[in-house]
Amino acid sequence: MSGSYWDDFEEYQQEEYPISDFVEELADRTESAFGDIGDDYFPAYLGIDNAVKLYSLIRHKKPEIVVETGVCNGMSSAVILKALKDNERGRLYSVDLPVEAGTIEDRKGAVIPPGKSSGWLVTEDLKDIWELNLGNTFYELSKVFEEVGEIDMFIHDSGHAYEIMMFEFGIAWYHLREGGSLLADNTDKNLAFKDFARAKERQVYRMNKLAIMER
Ligand SMILES: C[S@@+](CC[C@H](N)C(=O)[O-])C[C@H]1O[C@@H](n2cnc3c(N)ncnc32)[C@H](O)[C@@H]1O
């Protein structure tokens, strides 16, 4: 295991509007929306450092087709879309089964504020290269892959149960081109990413809880 893989990517900072400012603005918009509904609920978005690294990775790799699971408020989707826009190529296909705060008893994290919809952080200027599919990845992912065929990058951040992760990695791997990237957040929750990498004889590179292996 090594963090050096991630260190190889420069933070594609832009002079006129640095990407870290873009990410912090997303975080601020999220925090103020959650401020309105009290301390009980939290958004569970990709951390600021991870978001900046994810942006840099996409700028560097220039993927054409990216599939992600787990949108929630839309921090990761907005960052991926911004990177694809700045690359002037690529489309994002997302799958999410959002939960509105207060609608499921005891569910406090990874929720959207009442009245908001999945991916509400994503601004209009980024939406023309985005397809958002609402539903359980168990049903929706196969439809997405049927539509797009081969993909360049897959990012898991939906439910972090071992079975869900293994299911998503399996179907994504089948559609991932050779040299493509498989990523997952919250890989500390269980051994799914490690087990999958071992089965495929791939090296895992971690940065905090975000991990990547290459096909
Ligand atoms: C951790 S949040 C995603 C955070 C997002 N990637 C970000 O950076 O802001 C997880 C999201 O996945 C959704 N989810 C959980 N299990 C799912 C499943 N089996 N299928 C689709 N979405 C799921 C949750 O309801 C939530 O909207």
pTM of the predicted model as reported, rounded to 2 decimal places: 0.96
Does residue 164 have its Cβ closer than 6 Å to ligand 1? yes
60-71 tens-digit pLDDT: 999 999 999 999
Does residue 158 have its Cβ closer than 6 Å to ligand 1? yes
Helix (H, G, I), strand (E, B) or coil at 141: helix
Q: Which of 158, 167, 208 to mutate to test the pocket of ligand 1 (most atoms within 8 A of CB)?
A: 158
Does residue 140 have its Cβ closer than 6 Å to ligand 1? no
131-179 tens-digit pLDDT: 999 999 999 999 999 999 999 999 999 999 999 999 999 999 999 999 9
Does residue 97 have its Cβ closer than 6 Å to ligand 1? yes
For ligand 1, the distance from its centroid to the CA atom of residue 16, given in whole angstroms, is: 32
55 near 209, Cβ under 8 Å?
Answer: no
Element (H, E) at 25: helix 19-35
- 4-214 homologous superfamily: Vaccinia Virus protein VP39 (3.40.50.150)
Angle between helices 162-175 and 137-148 (to 10 degrees): 10
For ligand 1, the distance from its centroid to the CA atom of residue 70, given in whole angstroms, is: 3
